[in-house]
Each structure stands twice: as C-alpha cells, then as structure tokens.
Chain A
Amino acid sequence: MVASQAPAFLQIKDVVKDFSGVKAVNHVSIDIAKGEIFALLGSSGCGKTTLLRMLAGFSSPTSGKIILNGQDLEGLPPYLRPINMMFQSYALFPHLSVEENIAFGLKRDGMPKDQIAERVEKMLKLVQLGKYAKRKPHQLSGGQQQRVALARSLAKRPQLLLLDEPLGALDKKLREETQIELVNIIEQVGVTVVMVTHDQEEAMTMASRIAIMSEGNILQIGAPSEIYETPANRFVADFIGNVNLMDGTLIDDNPDHVIVECADCKHYVGHGITGTEGMAVSVAVRPEKIHVTREKPDGEYNHVRGTIKDMVYFGSHTVYHIQLGSGLVFKISESNVSRHRDDPLTWGDEVWASWTPLSQVVLTQ
C-alpha cells in the first residue's frame, strides 16, 4: 500500500456505517488487488455483513468511499453495479428452473438469446450440473443448490464476486470438499472475491488475505499464516486458533532479544521486537509449540511447571490442560507421533512445559 503504486482494484476508503448512533462499520479502509480472494472474518455482529451489503449496494455508507476499478460506486443501485453476490441462503428463485436461474441476470442485461443459452451451458459445465438444467431448486440437494447459486453469480462475469458465508448452510463433511472445489472454480474464472465468514477454517483455507473484524473495526489484515503466527493484538491471537496468553512486564531490552517476566516464568523472546523496560505486555504461545516433559528443561527461561488437570485424546494429538502456580491453565497440544508413549502421563502428574525462544509472540495491545 505505497502511495506511488497504481490504485488497488477495489478500494474501501474510510467507510463508516452509522445505525442511529451505533457504528456498525467504523472507519474501515481496505485495498484489494485484482484476482485476490479476500475474507472478512469475525463473529456475528462485527460489521462484516454490513460492509458486504455496502459493496453490493443494498445499503450505502454514512461516509467514506468505495471505488471499484477506478469507478466510484456511490449512489449506484445494486442492479447497476458490476458486482454479483452469492447469498448465504443461496436465494435461488423457487419458481424458476436451474437454467432460468442462471439466465436471470443475463436476460436483465438484454443479452441475445443464443448467447444466453451458450453462457448458461458453460456455467452449468463449470459447476458440473449439466444434467440438472431443467430441475427446480427444491429438487436439488444442498450442495447442488450451492453450485447453482455460484453459477448464477458468475454468469454475468462480474468484476467482483461477493460470497456471504458461502459454505455456512452445508454440513461439515460436505463443507471440506466444497471449499477446495469452490476455490478451484474461482481461480479458473479469475474473478476478484470478497467473502464474509465467521468460520476461521473456511477463511484460512480459501482466502489469500484475511481481515479480522470486531465491533466495526478492522483489527488486522494479512495472509492466513501471518495472522496465525504473528497476531497483532490479544483479540486476534485469541480469536484465531488456541493460544496461551500470559501477562507480564518487559524487564530487559537487548538488540537481539527481550526478557519478559510473568507470574509463572521468564520469557526469552528471540525475534525482532523492542520496547521500553517496564512496559506491560502479553506473551502468547500456541499450544502446538509447547512440549511436555517430566524433567526440568535446561536454562532459566521459557518453561513453566504445573499439574495435569485434564487430558483429551484426539487421535492425531492429545491436549493437556496444566494448572500453573499462578492459577493459569495452560493448554498444550502434543502430536501422537508414535502409538505408545513409554512413560504415559496421567492426571495429577507434575510436569514441565517448555518452548523455544522463537515461538512466542509479544503483544502490546
């Protein structure tokens, strides 16, 4: 986002949506590149759907601008925007057949009949529903309906495709298969996508970049790995995946590392962060980056001692809950790399948990 670069394909500029005093969207700015799959991730009521509806044109920003491919969308009603949306409920027209549903938007554009037929056929092929062309929506399964909705929203070759909880209405198993299929189709077409979801797994697997939203604000924008490995603040660290958060004070700032003192241990953080001594910070460690041992690890940093309160066996891994001296409960996830552990841990065992100096993240807010 350097000023000298050409402007982004989709620019959301300082957009605010005010619902009688409540800012559902609060000064949000996002730049999205052409061909990108961008996800707005957050729990319900965070403003992501409001933002999506402003892109589609169903509501207009209280202030701010939305610019698509150089065109300001202000005042443009939904039916004049080069944007199409796949709705959460699919919103297929119940009285029209599959092909009529797909042709609906093309007819509104006054496209000649033979071209419409050609385009519809292409779309049906794309989503592999050729033999269902004459069926009505209620004669299709949930997964098939989802594909019709996708084909319908792609038929007009929109500049921007909006996906509202694209897989939310499918059951878990179908969702996993469909995620990949959906991304394949989108990449095949090469359309720019903004999707809204509350499911972090969905956002992680499908999107090239994610914006985390809460209470109308964007908390972090970044690639999935960035967001997971270097969360910008406590909220994001806690929202994405599991995390152990420890409050502490920065007591020693060195060029190559810092030392943070918490109630249960001292942290040696070995990657490039800096701050003033005496600053209150939080240290976050992901459960899968922690090891459990019976023996005290070497050195004086990056380990805690506690009692096993709980163990949950998941097959591929086991999660331990360890009660620390301060009362904090530590979550640790160990891969079950071999079928048996020589010396199995059990409830009430005194153990040590340790991690490497590069696996923590220090959060200042």
Chain B
Amino acid sequence: MSPQAVLTQLRNSKLLSGRSAVIGVPYVWLLVFFLLPFLIVLKISVSEMETVHFKDLLTYKDGLLQLTLKFSNYEFIAEDPLYFKVYLASLKYAAATTLFCLLIGYPFSYFMARAKPSIQPALLMMVMLPFWTSFLLRVYAWKGLLGENGWVANLLEWLHVDHLLLALGVIPALGKFMNSPFSLVLGMTYTYLPFMILPLYANLAKMDLRLLEAAADLGATPWTAFWKVTVPLSKAGIIAGSMLVFIPCVGEFVIPELLGGPETLMIGRVLWDEFFSNNDWPMASSVAVVMILLIIVPLAIFNKYQAEAQEARS
C-alpha cells in the first residue's frame, strides 16, 4: 500500500469515528433505555415471583439446565372475561376519541389553513398554547366543569343534552356527567385534539389551492372538489393525526383516573393497579405485553408514515 493510501484510510477511519459517535450515542441510549426494558418486561411476564425475587428463567441443577416459563398470567388474561372487557373498552374509547377528534379537528384545521395568511401564525400559536400548559391541570379542570353545578354541566342540562346522553347510555343519570363514558371520552378528546389539529393543519396549509381552481374549472362543485381533491390529498395528515390520538389513548391512565368511573376501566388503570396496588409485577408485565400487541399495528403504521414524511422532506 502506498503511503498516500494509508493516509487516506486513516482519514476515512477518523471521519468514520466522528460519524459513529454521532450515531452511536443516541442509538446506544435508546437500545439501553427503550428496547432493553421491553425485553425485560417480556421476561418478567413469564417469570415466577418468589416472595420478593423473581425466579431465574434458566436454572442449572443436578446437571440439568431448566427453562421455566410461566404462562399462567397470559392464560389468566385470556380466560378472565374482565380483562377481555377492559381491553375491548380501551380500544372502544380510544376509537371514539379518535373519531371525535377527527370530526372536530378536520374542519378546524381546514378553516385554519384557509384563514387569512396574516392571522394563521397567531391561530397556530393559540392551538399550541394549551399544549404548553399543564395537561394534568387542564384535565383536572373538567372535573369542575362537569361536576355538580359546573359550567358545562349546567349548559348541557339547560340544552337538555343530558336526555340524549342518557338515552345513549353514556351517562349514569340525568344531570350526572362525571365518572361516565361521556366524561372520559370528552376529556380524552379535549386533551388529544391539538395532536389531531397540528399534523392536519401542516398538511392542509401546504396544499396547492390552484388544484381546487383546476377542479372547479373542470366542472366540480365545491363539495365534490372537497371530497375528491382536498380529502384524498390530506390522507397522510389524517393518518398521522389519528395515530397520534389513538395509540396513546389506548394506554391512557391519567384521564380515566380523573374523569372516568368504575364503569370505564381501561388497561392503563388495570396495569397501574396490578403494579401499585397488587404489587403483582409479572401480571402487570403481562398486561403491558398484551397492550403492546394491541397497538403494534397502529404503531407500525405511524412509524412508516413518520419515516416517509421525513424522507419526503429531505
């Protein structure tokens, strides 16, 4: 090898080391603090508790290597109708929340994106502002608004909306809004609405409005143009927003705890209770593993979208 080639190699390897530090630090950090913990949860979910310790999965005794996997937690989850109901309820409430966020958020983002350009930054800031202020406190506020004599409770009673809600079976009695499926979904919709609006707005704001003029020119009514042009073009925003709302809602804990009731158990709360009240770590881990299985498909969709959006930008 010529001295120059050696020099080249040296430089390249040096360059490589700078590069691997930039990649390596966050990578290793995520492997250790994000991926490894999941593997540990997986392991503990099939471990046996021995008073305060877990039994090792692999034991070596009398020349015999033994692998002990305890699947009873999973069997229990599969057989107990309570768990099944809770999982189903979580998916149901998360789906309802996503739907309401979309119904409120789509027109909202749409009109925001079509507002005067000069006021759009201000509108955007007003959407972001609640996001910056404590989410816990804003959820807590609904306790007062929906409780007895609360502003919203009074308004709903005055409008007789409670009759409708009772007929739908989402509140326990006339004038009682708290600790019901209604208050739960309302709270989640409220909390996650900005997560729906922001990606939708970003998507709708960069749409080429001349496409609509072209559609009108070709004879489409505004309504047709909206459904045939605007909505299909905002598909990416709809998917991103929906996933940003749906996935965290499935495992939501704080909102069901503050606004939900005994009727509205969600997995996040079950997991919490298994862990903090029953101290049953293997059971809590099993619940977590099943929850991950539930959200793995939406999670994959989200990641794919996210990666595509990032590639498209660059």
Total contacts A to B, CB within 8 angstroms? 11
Q: What 1/0 flags go to B1-14 for Cβ under 8 Å of A?
A: 00011011001100
Contacts of B4 on A, CB cut-off 8 Å?
72, 74-75
Contact sample, A vs B, 11 pairs, CB 8 Å cutoff: A72-B4, A74-B4, A74-B8, A75-B4, A75-B5, A75-B7, A75-B8, A75-B11, A75-B12, A77-B11, A77-B15
Closest Cβ–Cβ distance, residue B82 to chain A (whole Å): 56
Residue in A closest to B15 when the chains form the complex, CB atoms: A77
For B274-293 the 0/1 string (1 means CB < 8 A from A) is 00000000000000000000
> CA–CA, A147 to B8, complex, Å?
35
CB-CB under 8 A from A77, the residues of chain B are 11, 15
Residue among A72, A74, A75 with max Cβ neighbours from chain B (10 Å): A75
Nearest A-chain residue to B6, judged by Cβ: A75
Closest-CB distance, A153 to chain B (whole angstroms): 24
Interface of A: prevailing SS = loop
Interface residues on A, range: under 10
The residues of B that contact A75 with a CB separation of less than 8 Å are 4-5, 7-8, 11-12
Q: Mark A72-84, 1 if CB is under 8 A from B, else 0.
A: 1011010000000
- A274 to B: closest C-beta gap in Å: 47
Which chain B residue has the least Cβ–Cβ distance from A72? B4
- Chain A hits for B12, CB < 8 A: 75
Docked pose: A72 CA to B5 CA in angstroms: 11
* List of A residues within 8 angstroms of B15 by Cβ: 77
Report the minimal beta-carbon distance from B295 to chain A, rounded to whole angstroms: 37
In angstroms, Cα B7 to Cα A74, docked, is 10
Task: Give 8 new A-B contacts, CB below 8 A, not counting A74-B4, A75-B12, A77-B15.
Answer: A72-B4, A74-B8, A75-B4, A75-B5, A75-B7, A75-B8, A75-B11, A77-B11
Main secondary structure of the interface of B (DSSP, over half): helix
Q: For the complex formed, measure the closest distance between the CB of B237 and the CB atoms of chain A, giving whole angstroms.
A: 30
A75 to B10, CA, bound (A): 10
CB distance from A333 to the nearest CB of B (A): 38
Closest to B5 in A: A75
Nearest neighbor of A80 in chain B, beta-carbon distance: B11
When A and B form their complex, which 9 residue pairs have the shortest distance between CB atoms, in order from nearest? A75-B8, A75-B7, A75-B11, A75-B4, A74-B4, A74-B8, A77-B11, A72-B4, A75-B5
Q: What CA separation (Å) do A77 and B18 show in the bound complex? A: 15
Distance in angstroms between the alpha carbons of A144 and B15 in the assembled complex: 36
In the bound complex, residues from chain A placing their C-beta under 8 Å from that of B5 are: 75
List the B residue with the shortest CB-CB distance to A60. B8
Nearest-neighbor residue (CB-CB) of B11 within chain A: A75
Tell me the B8-59 residues at the A interface (CB within 8 Å).
Answer: 8, 11-12, 15
A residues 201-237 touching B (CB-CB < 8 Å): none
User: How far does the Cβ of B106 sit from chain A's closest Cβ, in whole Å?
Assistant: 37
Give the complex CA separation of A75 and B4 in angstroms: 8
CB neighbours of B8 from chain A (8 A): 74-75
- Report the minimum CB–CB distance from A66 to chain B (whole Å): 13
B280 to chain A, nearest CB (A): 54
Q: Which residue of A lies closest to B10 (CB)?
A: A75
Taken together as a complex, chains A and B put the C-alpha atoms of A77 and B5 apart, in Å, by: 14
Q: Which residue from chain A places its CB closest to the CB of B7 in the assembled complex? A: A75
Q: Would you list which residues of chain B between 173 and 214 have a CB under 8 Å from chain A?
A: none
What is the minimal beta-carbon distance from B3 to any residue of chain A, in angstroms?
11
Q: Which residues of B contact A72 (CB under 8 A)?
A: 4
In whole angstroms, how far apart are the Cα atoms of A242 and B84 in the complex?
78
Distance from A61 Cβ to chain B, minimum over Cβ atoms (Å): 12
A75–B6 Cα distance when bound, in Å, is 10
A75 to B15, CA, bound (A): 12
Shortest distance between the CB of A225 and any CB in chain B (Å): 41
Cβ of A226 to closest chain B Cβ, rounded Å? 37
Q: How far is the CA of A77 from the CA of B15 in the complex (A)?
A: 10
Q: How far is the CA of A72 from the CA of B8 in the complex (A)?
A: 12
- Please, how many angstroms separate the alpha-carbon atoms of A75 and B7 in the complex? 7
Q: Kindly state the separation between the CA atoms of A74 and B3 in the bound complex, as whole angstroms.
A: 12
Expressed in whole angstroms, the Cα–Cα distance for A75 and B13 within the complex equals: 12
Alpha-carbon gap, A72 to B15, bound state (A): 20
Q: Which residues of A lie under 8 Å from residue B11 when comparing CB positions?
A: 75, 77
